């Protein structure tokens, strides 16, 4: 694949939220329970310059993969390894724009496309005709731009905010793309994060969205991706982070004398704490094995609620470091090859629990605090 600074592609029309590139081949276990920061920097820098061929099937996920690399390097304090201007220029080239004013009322979403393959080829004048912008791609694009220090006031944020309403459904949920797809909490989170980063909530009816999220809380306290579905660590993060970004959950709600929302906070807390398994890691659902990424998805929920001190941090760190590869990066389970998805959420989890040498996170946005504040 091409260098990330010359990418000709980006993320998927309906990303799975877990675009890992696993292999049946096993790598040797990590030789140490020490976090090897420089080896992780080398791993991400390699991915920045040349993605392994295993990622060819994820060409349409290119922007998502870039987000993992760029934001990962920022967490590791090594953003100087990339050409920030080139990264910003590439991301901006993926923004979708209407051909004329008449198209503004076409029902399309004018955000960011996931890759070149989700844009039409050039017209007769050599101008790219862009289509199929996606909520998840737009979240990744804005996150990258903030990470490399690009001023979001330079993009047509009003166009994004105005057209994002085309994706909201009567029940408050969001389609990820204007031509239709599934609706679930992943895309509510993307919409909320986009509105928050653009400082413009005109594209979302927050009250309707809040009501949809409330319907997704299950009997056991966690949140399913859609109403009535099984509680899931990723869905629970999307629900709680969205409510926080929208202003419906106060910071450190557990320390408050009265609940700030109608979700069942005590039951949610119990569900999250039950996800830490005997090996110290976190599972995404009941009776599932521990998985690197859920240290972030569930750990971040506990941080937002103010309950992260209830986690056995020592055991969690030990589990994460058993998933650390000798090549740099993290795998889903111990003793497997690393992939970008689990590597990124390994870094976010360690940052969340204040691993020395890592930049702190903006927990709700999933990028560093420096990036979130535009520092």
Residue 85's nearest CA partner among 157, 42, 137, 149 is 149
The values of phi and psi at residue 107, to 5°, are 90, 5
Q: What is the C-alpha R_g of the chain?
A: 20
- Any idea which residue has 């060409």 for tokens? 59
The predicted structure's pLDDT at residue 127 = 55
Angle at which helix 233-245 crosses helix 206-215, to 10 degrees, equals 150
Q: For residue 28, what are the contacts with CB-CB under 8 A and spacing of at least 6? A: 326, 335
Interval 150-161: pLDDT, tens: 999 999 889 999
What stretch of H or E contains 370?
helix 369-373
The full length of the chain comes to 375
Distance CA 110, CA 174 (A): 15
Q: What is the pTM of this model?
A: 0.88
- What pLDDT tens digit does each residue of the chain (375 aa) get? 334 433 323 333 333 334 344 434 444 444 468 999 999 999 999 999 999 988 988 888 899 999 999 999 999 999 999 999 999 999 999 998 876 665 666 678 889 998 877 665 555 565 555 557 899 999 999 999 999 999 999 998 899 998 999 999 999 999 998 877 789 999 999 999 999 999 999 999 999 999 999 999 999 999 999 999 999 999 999 999 999 999 998 877 887 755 555 789 999 999 999 999 999 999 999 999 999 999 999 999 999 999 999 999 999 999 999 999 999 999 999 989 999 999 999 999 999 999 999 999 999 999 999 999 987
Which tokens sit at 292? Answer: 């690197």
Distance CA 169, CA 182 (A): 11
Q: How many CA atoms lie within 13 A of 9 on its CB side?
A: 17
The values of phi and psi at residue 330, to 5°, are -125, 150
Distance CA 65, CA 55 (A): 9
Q: Write the CA distances from 92 to 133, 141, 154, 369, integer angstroms.
A: 12, 8, 10, 22
Distance CA 87, CA 351 (A): 24
């Amino acid at each position: 694949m091409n260098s990330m600074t010359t990418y000709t592609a980006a993320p998927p029309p309906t990303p799975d939220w877990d675009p890992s590139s696993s292999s049946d081949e096993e790598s040797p276990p990590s030789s140490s329970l020490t976090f090897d920061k420089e080896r992780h920097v080398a791993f991400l820098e390699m991915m920045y310059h040349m993605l392994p061929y295993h990622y060819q099937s994820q060409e349409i996920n290119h922007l998502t993969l870039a987000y993992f690399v760029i934001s990962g390097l920022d967490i590791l304090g090594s953003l100087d390894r990339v050409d920030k201007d080139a990264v910003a220029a590439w991301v901006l080239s993926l923004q979708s724009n209407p051909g004329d004013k008449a198209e503004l009322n076409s029902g399309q979403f004018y955000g960011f496309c996931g890759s070149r393959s989700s844009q039409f080829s050039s017209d007769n004048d050599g101008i790219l005709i862009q289509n199929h912008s996606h909520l998840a791609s737009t979240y990744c694009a804005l996150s990258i731009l903030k990470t490399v220090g690009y001023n979001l006031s330079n993009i047509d944020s009003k166009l994004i905010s105005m057209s994002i309403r085309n994706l909201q459904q009567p029940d408050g949920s969001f389609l990820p793309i204007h031509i239709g797809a599934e609706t679930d909490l992943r895309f509510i989170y993307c919409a909320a994060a986009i509105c928050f980063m653009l400082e413009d909530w005109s594209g979302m009816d927050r009250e309707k969205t809040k009501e949809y999220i409330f319907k997704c809380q299950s009997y056991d306290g966690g949140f399913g991706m859609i109403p009535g579905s099984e509680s899931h660590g990723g869905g629970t993060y999307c629900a709680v982070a969205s409510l926080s970004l929208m202003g419906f959950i106060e910071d450190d709600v557990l320390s408050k004398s009265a609940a700030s929302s109608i979700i069942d906070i005590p039951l949610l807390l119990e569900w999250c704490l039950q996800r830490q398994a005997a090996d110290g890691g976190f599972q995404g659902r009941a009776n599932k094995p521990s998985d690197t990424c859920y240290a972030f998805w569930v750990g971040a929920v506990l941080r937002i609620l103010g309950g992260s001190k209830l986690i056995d941090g020592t055991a969690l760190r030990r589990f994460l470091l058993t998933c650390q590869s000798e090549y740099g990066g993290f795998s889903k389970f111990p003793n497997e090859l690393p992939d970008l998805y689990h590597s990124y959420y390994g870094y976010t989890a360690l940052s969340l629990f204040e691993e020395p040498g890592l930049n702190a996170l903006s927990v709700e946005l999933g990028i560093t605090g420096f990036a979130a504040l535009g520092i």
